[in-house]
Amino acid sequence: MDRDLWSGLAVFAAIVEAGSFARAATRLGLSASALSHAMRTLEAKLGTRLLDRTTRSLAPTQAGADLLLSLRPAMAAVDDALGALDSTRARPTGRVRVNAHRPAAMHVVLPRLPGFAAAYPDVAVELVVDDGLVDIVAGRFDCGVRHEGEVQRDMISVRISDAVPLAFVAAPAYLAARAPPEAPDDLGRHCCLCYRYTSSGTIHVWEFAKDEHRFARTVPGSFVTNDVDLMRDAAVSALGVACLPRPCVDRQIESGALVEVLCGWAPVLPPNQLYYPSRRQPTAAFRAFVEALRI
């Protein structure tokens, strides 16, 4: 195969995956102008336009989308071949791309990276925060991190955290003006801070657990966001009651910036799982990363 053509196809796939020339250039270690030149050369050789570009957006044309769909199995095969070669090296090297929801990225993955970096200095980790459900194969991620039960089928999964308790919290300043809620029925008299899922666009329905009884209920949302850190900060700013993973608010509870309410009603989320395609040959770097996160 024409080496320039293969190189251009790889650049095309990287641009679509990254969503922009600038981000693709950063990942590939090239200039945006070099990528633009490569795309012009590729489109000229193929005699068809592969990308629709404006100053604000980028998307593959229908011909480009069809080509990319055909290319992905071949690129996966190349990744597998390189993974097999990498496994023969004495010292893992390369890059591991991870897609994780924010609480897991901050409180599960990030705390283990210093030890991993010290043990494997030649392995770079790219941690992409995404609270939606994503296709890690199409996004060319090595793995994803989601709660147990959210993992895609036909994936290999590894447990990387214990179950995650939730907490209902509010700021002392907010509670100074009203009686704190003691049961779910009390929330009708309160301002609630709600989370909107990025992928589906739906609002998170709050769950409650008492003894063996567990149920869900829609709460009156006075503030809605798609970012758990912003929701925590909104709670600290006395905007209302929030339901958040306990690790996200431990520090604020300890400092007194937030107070737990509805004590005894908070449910527990399933453990976090690291997952990856069963058909892909893992590199030595990726195997080391998995073992560093496994519990």
Measured N-to-C along each axis, helices 62-86 and 284-293 cross at an angle, to the nearest 10 degrees, of: 80
**Boundaries of domain holding 120:** 94-163+271-293
N-terminal to C-terminal alpha carbon distance within the chain: 45
Is residue 83 situated within a structural domain?
no
Domain count, the chain: 3
Same domain, yes or no, for 193 and 242? yes
Is residue 77 situated within a structural domain?
no
Same domain, yes or no, for 176 and 141? no
- Alpha-carbon span 291 to 295, nearest angstrom: 8
Is residue 80 situated within a structural domain?
no
Give pTM, 2 decimals. Answer: 0.71
CATH code, domain with 119: 3.40.190.10
CATH code, domain with 32: 1.10.10.10
Note the pLDDT tens digit of each residue in 172-194. Answer: 999 999 999 999 999 999 999 99
Contacts of range 229-234, beta carbons closer than 8 Å, 24 or more positions apart: 229/102, 231/193, 231/195, 232/258, 234/193
Residue segments in the chain with a per-residue pLDDT below the cut of 70: 1-4, 55, 79-90, 279-280
Question: Residue 71: its pLDDT value, please?
Answer: 82
Note the pLDDT tens digit of each residue in 195-224. Answer: 998 878 899 999 999 988 899 999 989 999
